[in-house]
Structure 1
Amino acid sequence: MATQSIVVYCASSVGVNPIYNEVAAELGQKMAARNIRLIYGGGGFGLMGNVADAVLQNGGEVTGVIPNFLADLEVAHSTLTEIHFVETMHERKYRMVQLAKGVITLPGGYGTFDELFEILAWRQLKLYDGPVVIINTSGFYDLVLQQLDRMVADGFLKAANRDLLLVAESVDEALTMVANYWASAV
């Protein structure tokens, strides 16, 4: 049984660069190897499906949280360890972070950015206490990071709150950041 859980935010599509899928699979493999349960949106496609498949194929545990309307569209992953059905997207996001003590974000679109920025706002407001890490695969988040720095420079974001977002260049670095946060919180 997994001792810790991490929420992974990422795309329900695969993107055009194969490196994104490779990193998603590596994250899933290494989470399973470290006995970390995956908590995610419950979908069976794209990067999110690839992370879940890799965890499961390597003997790990996966909990999905999916709104009924998405499950009804047949996008729910069919072989998870556990799945929670909820009514709304907001309830989904809330339930996912209730189940985990950390967040790792891979590339994605509007949904991924919505989840990432909401959890950062919750961290800023002290509504969530866990590390929030992005894996900046192939510089995917470079422009976002520049925008955050601009927000600090222009006085719209405190530097301490900017530092709530941890940036990793690899899966190993991201998992180490999470482990270090957990160790310091004891």
Structure 2
Amino acid sequence: MKRLAVYCGSATPADSRYVENAAEVGRTLAERGIGVVYGGGRLGLMGAVADGALAAGGEVIGVIPKALVDAEVAHRGLTELHVVDTMHQRKKAFTDLSDGFVTLPGGTGTMDELWEAMSWAQIGYHAKPVGLLNVAGYYDGLLTFVRTMGEVGFLRPQHQDLLIAADTLDDLLARMAAHQPIRTVGQMKAAEL
């Protein structure tokens, strides 16, 4: 994995563990020679990831919609900053520029990015690992929900391990590196769907 898209919040929560972890993720990826592709912002966890990677000499590519540049939230010290017109273009760029996806804590935008990465993998638009770093148990409820989707039958058995979740970055990166592409919906017959 030469580059990873990192999805995370633009907010700064009161609990400093989230910001500290985001900076650590950026630093660790840079130290391992893995470039960061992210939302291009300078605020919150986004800014912490970027600053952590940059401080460690890493490559950081931001992809940000023009509306957010205009709101003056763009990080101007990145290796590259791609300005796009829409969120759809942003998410496509994340997929095109990265070898996988790591999701840190965040809100609705982060969830949108995570679900799209998973959905696109199911359909076969990409065969890249989709990771989730469960910082301080933040995603415990989401992981329960993903299991429930499988138990009820809305997540096919061959897709139930699509989301690679771990509590530590080392474990997550090791599991993502061992990722094997899944059998996509496009490869299935109607009777299997």
TM-score normalised by structure 2 residue count? 0.90
Give the letter for the 1:20 counterpart. Y
Match of 1:49 among 34, 47, 70: 47
* CA distances 1:146-180 after superposition (whole Å, capped 9, x unpaired): 11111111111113212100011111112222333
Give the alignment of 1:1-80 within 5 angstroms: 4-80=2-78
Match of 1:132 among 130, 133, 144: 130
Residue in 1 aligned with 2:140? Answer: 142
Residue in 2 aligned with 1:179? Answer: 177
C-alpha distance in structure 1 between counterparts of 2:171 and 2:20, whole Å: 16
Q: Secondary structure at the match of 1:115?
A: helix
Give the letter for the 2:156 counterpart. K
C-alpha distance in structure 2 between counterparts of 1:163 and 1:174, whole Å: 13
Could you list the runs of 5+ residues in structure 2 that have no partner in the other structure?
Answer: 182-193
Identity of aligned residues (%): 45
Shift of 1:14: 1.7
TM-score normalised by structure 1 residue count? 0.93
* CA distances 1:13-50 after superposition (whole Å, capped 9, x unpaired): 12122111121111111101111110001000000110
Larger Rg: 2
Q: Which moved more, 1:172-181 or 1:88-97?
A: 172-181
Q: Which moved more, 1:15-24 or 1:118-127?
A: 15-24
C-alpha distance in structure 2 between counterparts of 1:152 and 1:179, whole Å: 24
Give the alignment of 1:81-96 within 5 angstroms: 81-96=79-94
Q: Secondary structure at the match of 2:176?
A: helix
C-alpha distance in structure 2 between counterparts of 1:117 and 1:159, whole Å: 17
C-alpha distance in structure 1 between counterparts of 2:108 and 2:156, whole Å: 24
Give the letter for the 2:173 counterpart. L
Give the letter for the 1:110 counterpart. T
C-alpha distance in structure 1 between counterparts of 2:151 and 2:30, whole Å: 40
- Contact 1:26-1:171 within 8 A present in 2 as well: no
Give the letter for the 1:120 counterpart. M
Matched, 1:116 2:114: yes
Could you list the runs of 5+ residues in structure 1 that have no partner in the other structure?
Answer: none
- Contact 2:150-2:157 within 8 A present in 1 as well: yes
Q: Secondary structure at the match of 1:8?
A: strand
* CA distances 1:25-83 after superposition (whole Å, capped 9, x unpaired): 11111101111110001000000110000000000010000111110110000100001
Q: Secondary structure at the match of 2:35?
A: strand
Residue in 2 aligned with 1:97? Answer: 95
- Contact 2:150-2:160 within 8 A present in 1 as well: yes
